[in-house]
Structure 1
Amino acid sequence: MSPNDHLSFTSFLDNILVDFPPQNPLVFPSSRSNDEISKNKRVISNRESARRSRIRKQTHLEDVKSKITRYKTVNHELMNRLRSVNRNGQIFGQENQRLEVELVMLQEKLYNLHNLLEIHHTLMLPSSTWPCVNNNVTQNQLSLVTLL
């Protein structure tokens, strides 16, 4: 490399730096600005779409929370009603057992009365011996009445 070459290279660099930034850049403003405009529109559209999506998601979440609250309330009410039905079922079961015992006792009394009537017919007691017909009540008649 000769010293003249060095000067020419240096002057070349000086010329480049003097013209930097170029006064008339080779830019295609119409195509680049349309691309930029399209890109900006897409960015704005995407942001708006994302915002609407967040709003829908928030609305859905609030709806689900509301349903959960309602279902918990209904479940609590149903549990209370179930407890009440179970308590009433136990009470009615106990009452039913008591009535069954009473039924057996009344059936036994009816059976005993039926037997007394059969004995009465077989002995053919006169109707005057019954206390309701005659005021003269004997000891045997009293014992028969107390059995009833």
Structure 2
Amino acid sequence: MAACSVPKFIESTQPRLLGSNDHQDSDLRKRKRMISNRESARRSRVRRKTHMGDLVLQVSQLVSDNKYMAINLKDTTQMFLNLDCENSVLRAQLAELTHLFESLTNIINGFNSLSNDYETEASVMCGVDDELLVHCETMLHENEHFVVEMLLN
């Protein structure tokens, strides 16, 4: 039995050596993980800082674009208001001119009706004398133009 047995002091030191290696391996793994975590955190901070810088630039660009669009909108709105006002004036002028045209058309139709009546009367009064008929018609047309000019002025 003595040949097969291991001295007691050797048995008691072996678990300590294995435990010590496990402890060193554990410490080494902890240090590696800690270093890896620090490096990962550093990379994360760099990415976050880069992303933040990009966002600041984007905000600056968007603020600039917004100012440009606000100015453009203000100018466009002013042009719209000017054109709307001008359009209202033109519509009023159109209504006025349409009314004037209708009035003048009625006056001319009235003169044409009178002219036809006078021609009939003149031909009856003057007989077949064409020269006198032309003279009467000329006088009627001159009076017609005179009345129209008075209405326009």
RMSD: 2.1
- For structure 2, the 5+ residue unaligned runs are 1-15, 120-136
Aligned partner of 2:147 in structure 1 is 143
Listed as ranges, the matches of 1:1-148 within 5 Å are 29-123=20-114, 124=116, 128=138, 129-130=140-141, 137-138=142-143, 141-148=145-152
Q: Which moved more, 1:60-69 or 1:121-130?
A: 121-130
Q: Give TM-score scaled by structure 2 length.
A: 0.67
Q: Taking CA–CA contacts closer than 8 Å with sequence separation of 6 or more, which of the two structures ends up with the larger relative contact order?
A: 2
- For structure 1, the 5+ residue unaligned runs are 1-25, 131-136
CA distance in structure 2 between the aligned counterparts of 1:56 and 1:146, rounded to whole angstroms: 87
Q: Give TM-score scaled by structure 1 length.
A: 0.69
Percentage of matched positions with identical amino acids: 26
CA distance in structure 2 between the aligned counterparts of 1:121 and 1:141, rounded to whole angstroms: 12
TM-superposed deviation, 1:100: 1.4
After superposition, give the CA deviation of every residue in 1:92-143 in whole Å (9 maximum; x if it has no partner). 111011101211221121011111121022112565233xxxxxx45x6323
CA distance in structure 1 between the aligned counterparts of 2:61 and 2:94, rounded to whole angstroms: 48
Number of residues of Structure 1 aligned to a counterpart in Structure 2 = 116
Aligned partner of 1:19 in structure 2 is none
Aligned partner of 1:13 in structure 2 is none
CA distance in structure 2 between the aligned counterparts of 1:63 and 1:84, rounded to whole angstroms: 32
